Structure 1
Amino acid sequence: MQSSPFLLTLIGLLLALWTVAAGWIMIRASTRVQAAEGTKRAVRRLSRMIEDSPAIPLLVRADGRIEAPDRLAGWLGLDAVPQYLSELAPSGAGGLSEDQLEQLTTRVRRTQKTAAPFQMTVKPRGSKRALALRGSLADPNVSPSGAALVWVFDLTESEEEVAALREETARAREDFGALVGLIEAAPMPMWFRSPQMQLRLVNTAYVAAVGAQSPDEVVARQIELIETVDGVSAAEVAQQAGERRKPIERIVSATIKGARRTMRVTDLPLIGEGIAGYAVDIEEMEEQAREFRAFREAQRSMLDQLSIGVAQFDSRRRMTFANQPFHRVFALPPGIVNDRTSFEQMLMVARENGRIPEVRDFPAWRAELGEWFLSDETQDEAWPLPDSTHLRIVAQPMPDGGLVMIAEDRTEQLALSATRDTLLRTRTATFDNLFEALAVFAPDGHLELWNRGFTGVWGLDPEALDGHPMAEDLLEAIAQQLADPKQVATINLVIRSATLDRKKKQGNVQLSDGRTLDFASVPLPDGNGLLTVLDVTASRQAEEALRERNRALEEADAVMTRFLANMSYEFRTPLTSIGGFAELLTSGVAGELTPQARDYAEAISLSVGKLTEQVENVLDLSQSEAGLMPLSKQKLDLLPLITQVVRKREGAIVDAGLTLDLRGDPGKKVEADPQQIRRAIAHLLDNAIAATARDGKITVELRQNRAGTKITLSDNGRGMTQHELARALEGIRPTRDGKGIERRQGLGIPLARHLIEAHGGTLEIHTRKGVGTSATITLP
């Protein structure tokens, strides 16, 4: 039987449908299998996530039974999770305490009834673990019977962190309080600005500085401490610090408590908070800086006046100062200080100018000097220069790492020292060869210096003085040589007078051998005392002989005085008698004389007159030299007196062929003896007449000035040499053996001089051979 095509088609469709249905069923089954596998994997994943989650679920059913992972038992310190909530507080170790369990039970029941969530923290017994419990009503899909779901979190680490944070917070609060107290107690003004640059906080010092009543007043009125400088206010400066995010420090002047003070102001940005600021009063520091600068300038000015060279180097070994002597000593150029020349360069310049010692290895020597900066001790060296200059170099390290270098030119001092040594040797040689005995005593009384004559004059052992004994020990040895040992106290007094009292004193002693010593003390400028001793034995003997001779001379002078007084009578009386008898014979009392007899009588009278005049001259001169010239002073008008003297010699002047010029103003008066002054002028005039040749001229001039009254007699005669003038002034003098009188020239000039000197005046004679003579009488 043949199959119908329709049937075949229908069969094919059915098979196709079956195949499709089978395929769909297989695909659906496979999908469900995959979904089931996925669900299982999701369940396992969720279970694993719950196991590894930081929170553990605890399901508490209405009947008190609980469900929870085993991990909760480990958190609670139990071996296994109990079946009921009440078993979470077992009698053994672990679990919750009774109070914690009671609180948990109460809150769980309230949640089951009211669906109100709760939170609490518990700590299992015997464990440091802290657990946070957060409970709520469980979802019906989880437990439809009104169970409570409690999530348990392990807050052990969080609790520790919270405790640490609490501790840090408390400490921060304490630090903040201390900081606030510190800011309030700070002596410097401090403030804080908001991001809008408004004052928000100020301390007490700020309030006192601006003269406000309280910090609130300062903040309310925005009272600024710092004034606007160059058009920029304090808030604008703070804003600039905030924009730059860097502190701004400046030095300005501000009025603090009514006084202008220099302040160092700092604006400190606090990122995200605002700007803090504080002001430090540096007025005293500025004043000290000014004083330091003034002191430094004064010090450098003073160093410029010193005769020694001084230079200063800083810690970088650069020259910061050098005075003029330092420039001169090392021949440095003027701008070396301004160029901040280093120490090594300065030595190089000095070396080029030949102002350092000659050294073989200059770099090594310079490096050795560079160690002065690192030394702790002062260096003192002597530098002999090639030009024979000797320098003393002192290097003083400074605390700041710098160096002060002092250069002293000691060439002159060394020369003076050598000269001093020579002088000391010369002094020693001079002392040892002096005729006097010398000794120098120090203020403490010990013998410091002596010469060889000192030991010889006192009869001391020279070796006994080598130890420079004290004065007391020396005087004990001297006392043994004295005729009277008690006189040693006089020597001690003289030594003390020079060394302690600083006065001169002298004395004399007798030695046991008959010698006489004179000693004297002289204070020396160095505080010592000089004792000089001289053996005056021979001079004392000569002095005694002179005294004896003086006594003999005094007796002879008395005899001469009596002789002169007697001769004045014995000479004048016979001459007066002879002259009187001659005048009587001439007048004819004894009868009329023949012409020849009359001539003899007149000759006798003329000779008597001349002899009388010579006797009077001799007697007056003798009395004047003996100091016995009698004077009868009175007020005299000199011009008439001189005129009388000239008139009496008018005949002699005319006979000699001379001219005389008398000049002078009338009214010149002096206190004098008229007879003696007349005689003095007459003697000088007679000498002028005798010394002037014919046709000569004599001038007599009278004048008066501050020095007194002067009478000048001058002529143009033959004059005298100085030797002749000396002999004329001597007149007469005792012979060499002292037993007679020797006549040198006429007695006129010496007698005139004595007469004038007896009136307190002077006689000056100026003469020149062949030119003339001038005699000047000066009367007070």
Structure 2
Amino acid sequence: MLALLLLSHFAPRQTPARPSAAAHPVLEPAVFLFDDHHLVDATGPARSLIAATRASGSDWDRLCAFLAPRFEGFARAMGALAEQGRIELTSVPDPERRPPLRLLAEHLGGLARITLIDPAAEGSGVLVDGLSQRALEDELALLRQAFDSLPAPVWREDAQGGICWANRAYLLLSEAFGDSEECLVWPLPRLFPHEETPHPTPRRLRLARQSGPVWFDCHSFALTDGTLHYAQPADAAVRAETALRDFVQTLTKTFAGLPIGLAIFDRERRLQLFNPALIDLTQLSPDFLSARPTLYALLDRLRESRMMPEPKDYRSWRLQMTALEKAAAAGFHTETWSLPGGQTYRVTGRPHPDGAVAFLFEDITADISLSRRFRAELELSQEVLDLMPEAVAVFRASGELALSNRAYDRLWQVEPGTTLGRVTILDATRRWQEVCGASMLWPQARAFCLRSAERLTIEDEVSLPDGTPLHCRFVPIQGGAMLAGFSPARVPVGALPQSSI
């Protein structure tokens, strides 16, 4: 044993033979052996290909997910393999101008032998670095995880419109999974209609479901060999738009029944909303209002149709309308228009959010006529009271002086302009007492005016400073008011001197 060790130690060392430069490693082909949908055997590259394919379904499903988009008619050809015995297919043209893949399928004793050939790799003898391959696989796994985590459906279509890839959200939405997520239906079902040319702007798509329609905003991006689609859920937006539309319709119906004309202008002072009452009040045509005129165009049309006060000149009118628009935009503003036709309109401007302005046109002709008639009746009643010789004053239930005539003002030496609404029954009785002196009649008058229970007329006499008797009466009036009347006392009939015959 020791001799053998010594021999090996002193024996001449042999230099290992260098591999020939022409001896390149040979790439192993990708070969699959299937018994129906069950993978019986496969080469190393074939197993790596299946492992790198989308991890769902059986080995046959994953292989179909890789081959079907690349070989046109793959599923139909594999269905006829048992009858034909041998099938050769060539992949569709590659957008990067790489040589097309070749597929050879053979039926051998009830088994299907599938060979996938990449002409670009044949004879090249190029081996992939392990670290680079791992980095590529990690990045691919990260991208798959990112796309499968998206809540929005994402899918890719080829040039013919076939769906060649989709993320998990699309698969769940399209029910592409069979009995479980391990069974993937191929080809993938189509959810949304195919478009020959991608839209530059998002399009709203409706997906029918038993639980109700589902809405998406679909974004499309053109690729070299197809189109990438991204569908963003839009149910919340559709509900908000529907609620807003219903709200606007409700407002429109409400505004349609209003007798007040409504005109809403946006921040550019262009008409955005109006109601039928505006047409009736302004006599503007619906076509003109539907064309969304500006505020000044609408005012010009009103001036031309004599539906606003006649201005002295156009320049002053424009300045007046500019002031009206600025006042309405700054806050609540009201104007009264006396039209040449005899009508009277109240125009109210109100600011709205985002710089908008709303104008209300109200016909107050009847109110103005009623106010004028009421004012005329008041003036007539006051004139009648002023012609009465008796000094009369009316006090409200609260004790405030409501009205008096000229005889009352002369008797008690008060100014009517400074007394109405400012003098109470207490102030009045004090004045009466100052002129006529103390009397039990004044406390009774105060209590009579402020009493809410049933009241009876009070009459009595007091003396003026010159000794003239003054007849006083306090009469209840409807609504809790009281009338105070003062007149010279009548001389009794028995006190008159007897005339001699």
TM-score by length of 2: 0.51
Matched position secondary structure for 2:242? helix
1:605 is aligned to none
Contact 1:482/1:509 (8 A) holds in 2: no
Partner of residue 234 from structure 1, selected from 191, 198, 213: 191
C-alpha displacement at 1:280, in angstroms?
1.7
2:394 is aligned to 440
2:23 is aligned to none
Matched position secondary structure for 1:369? helix
2: distance between equivalents of 1:178 and 1:536?
A: 110
Task: Render the CA deviation track for 1:256-278: whole Å, top value 9, x for unaligned.
Answer: xx742562432444847943322
Contact 2:409/2:416 (8 A) holds in 1: no
Residue identity opposite 1:192 in structure 2: V
1:292 is aligned to 247
Matched position secondary structure for 1:332? coil
Alignment of 1:163-562 (within 5 A): 189-195=151-157, 197=163, 200-202=166-168, 217=181, 220=184, 233-237=190-194, 240=195, 244=198, 246=200, 248-252=202-206, 254-255=208-209, 259-261=211-213, 263-269=215-221, 271=223, 274-281=228-235, 282-303=237-258, 306=259, 308-314=260-266, 317-319=269-271, 322-323=274-275, 326-333=278-285, 335-359=287-311, 361-362=313-314, 365-366=317-318, 369=321, 376-378=329-331, 380-387=334-341, 390-399=344-353, 402-409=356-363, 413-414=367-368, 416-442=370-396, 444-454=398-408, 460-462=412-414, 466-467=418-419, 468-478=422-432, 481=436, 485=440, 488-497=442-451, 501=452, 505-513=455-463, 517-524=472-479, 529-533=481-485, 538=490
2: distance between equivalents of 1:252 and 1:314?
A: 32
C-alpha displacement at 1:199, in angstroms?
6.7
C-alpha displacement at 1:292, in angstroms?
2.0
2: distance between equivalents of 1:446 and 1:427?
A: 19
Contact 1:439/1:447 (8 A) holds in 2: yes
C-alpha displacement at 1:285, in angstroms?
1.2
- CA gap of 1:492–1:206, structure 2 versus 1, over 3 A, is farther
C-alpha displacement at 1:495, in angstroms?
1.6
Residue identity opposite 1:432 in structure 2: D
Residue identity opposite 2:263 in structure 1: A
Matched position secondary structure for 1:266? strand
Contact 2:267/2:355 (8 A) holds in 1: yes
2: distance between equivalents of 1:496 and 1:176?
A: 91
C-alpha displacement at 1:401, in angstroms?
5.3
- CA gap of 1:267–1:345, structure 2 versus 1, over 3 A, is closer
Matched position secondary structure for 2:456? strand
C-alpha displacement at 1:331, in angstroms?
3.9
Task: Render the CA deviation track for 1:215-274: whole Å, top value 9, x for unaligned.
Answer: x849946999xxx9xxxx42544xx38x5274642142544xx74256243244484794
Alignment of 1:692-703 (within 5 A): none
1:648 is aligned to none
- CA gap of 1:449–1:504, structure 2 versus 1, over 3 A, is farther
2: distance between equivalents of 1:518 and 1:380?
A: 47
Higher radius of gyration, 1 or 2: 1
2: distance between equivalents of 1:446 and 1:423?
A: 22
Contact 1:482/1:510 (8 A) holds in 2: no
C-alpha displacement at 1:300, in angstroms?
2.8
Alignment of 1:6-17 (within 5 A): none
Residue identity opposite 2:167 in structure 1: L
- CA gap of 1:429–1:369, structure 2 versus 1, over 3 A, is closer
2: distance between equivalents of 1:212 and 1:523?
A: 87
Contact 2:264/2:359 (8 A) holds in 1: yes
- CA gap of 1:235–1:302, structure 2 versus 1, over 3 A, is closer
1: distance between equivalents of 2:143 and 2:446?
A: 88
1: distance between equivalents of 2:461 and 2:482?
A: 21
C-alpha displacement at 1:478, in angstroms?
4.4
Contact 1:515/1:535 (8 A) holds in 2: yes
Alignment of 1:52-131 (within 5 A): none
In the alignment of these two chains, the number of paired residues is 344
C-alpha displacement at 1:319, in angstroms?
4.5
2: distance between equivalents of 1:310 and 1:372?
A: 16
2: distance between equivalents of 1:430 and 1:278?
A: 82
Matched position secondary structure for 2:247? helix
TM-score by length of 1: 0.35
1: distance between equivalents of 2:185 and 2:206?
A: 22
- CA gap of 1:518–1:286, structure 2 versus 1, over 3 A, is same
Task: Render the CA deviation track for 1:458-478: whole Å, top value 9, x for unaligned.
Answer: x74536994533333333444
1:639 is aligned to none
Structure 2 runs not aligned, ≥5 long = 1-14, 19-135, 464-468, 496-501
Cα RMSD, aligned residues only: 5.3
1: distance between equivalents of 2:418 and 2:322?
A: 50
C-alpha displacement at 1:423, in angstroms?
3.4
Alignment of 1:14-25 (within 5 A): none
Contact 1:438/1:530 (8 A) holds in 2: no
- CA gap of 1:533–1:383, structure 2 versus 1, over 3 A, is closer
Residue identity opposite 2:348 in structure 1: V
Task: Render the CA deviation track for 1:501-556: whole Å, top value 9, x for unaligned.
Answer: 4x7623325444476633122244xxx724243669649x67x99xxxxxxxxxxx
1: distance between equivalents of 2:424 and 2:323?
A: 51
Task: Render the CA deviation track for 1:268-304: whole Å, top value 9, x for unaligned.
Answer: 448479433221213431431332232232233123x
C-alpha displacement at 1:483, in angstroms?
7.2
- CA gap of 1:245–1:284, structure 2 versus 1, over 3 A, is closer
- CA gap of 1:357–1:444, structure 2 versus 1, over 3 A, is same
Task: Render the CA deviation track for 1:427-456: whole Å, top value 9, x for unaligned.
Answer: 322223335543333455332422344467
2: distance between equivalents of 1:218 and 1:535?
A: 113
- CA gap of 1:353–1:280, structure 2 versus 1, over 3 A, is closer
Residue identity opposite 2:483 in structure 1: L
Matched position secondary structure for 1:337? helix
1:654 is aligned to none
Q: Which structure has greater helix proportion?
A: 1
- CA gap of 1:427–1:279, structure 2 versus 1, over 3 A, is same
Matched position secondary structure for 2:163? coil
Matched position secondary structure for 1:234? coil
Residue identity opposite 1:519 in structure 2: F
